[in-house]
Structure 1
């Protein structure tokens, strides 16, 4: 059974517009002996693989960095990024639906990924999603600033 969270998934234009409201600066990541700046709001999810983290971006690209998921979690905006399972951190801007199934809850993201929510983290995760939805409602209620019109 699929339960939709939002009336419709957020568009990429809308995500670009509201990202500054959630305190989402660029991340500087170690990459092949150098550093690379990546826009935080374009990260769909992060997947832990031992001492490495695999970034999944909105454009479908991926990037592996030599930092643990725990270390990355401390660098992300807590209003938008949540950890539903020990192996994943997801960006709520790209959350599409809940999938409750007997004892196991999972969520789908707009890129088609299906992520399990651990039983121990389920209630906290749901509270975080509801808080995020409230933030979106507040943002939607604000009048549109001229700088955002037509973008």
Structure 2
């Protein structure tokens, strides 16, 4: 891999991520991740089955490891899986509503880019 490319710019062939646990590694498929929330040096994974996984790594680390086309950083504390975006709150323009019914904050500075991103990722059948 050329030195000027970071893992974020490389197409991922993998279908999931490994999270270190107390005495093991947990494999989580990208499609099973609804969104991630960063709290200080920890990241909480919200999964499709309703469970949570906590990692002692920062959100920034996971942002670089997850596929760019599928995940978007909406706020300094949130990273969402665009495949699990259920609704965008157009009244207040502040929240993405996810498939697990959780509201995820979209920062003011990211709103325009977020809208462009979801419009570009939509196909005519999605609209």
TM-score (ref. length: structure 1): 0.69
Name the stretch that deviates more: 26-35 or 68-77. Answer: 26-35
Unmatched tracts of structure 2, length 5 or more: 1-11
1:127 to partner: Cα distance:
1.2
Among candidates 104, 119, 123, match of residue 115 of structure 1: 104
Larger relative contact order, structure 1 or 2 (CA cutoff 8 Å, min sep 6): 1
In the alignment, is residue 89 of structure 1 matched against residue 79 of structure 2?
A: yes
- Which stretches of structure 1, 4 residues or longer, exceed 4 Å deviation after superposition? none
* Counterpart in the other structure of 2:119: 130
SS at match of 2:27: strand
Q: How does 1:1-150 map to 2 (within 5 A)?
A: 25-102=15-92, 104-134=93-123
Q: Which has the larger radius of gyration?
A: 1
Calculate the aligned-residue CA RMSD, in Å.
2.0
Would you tell me which structure has more helix in proportion to its own residues?
1
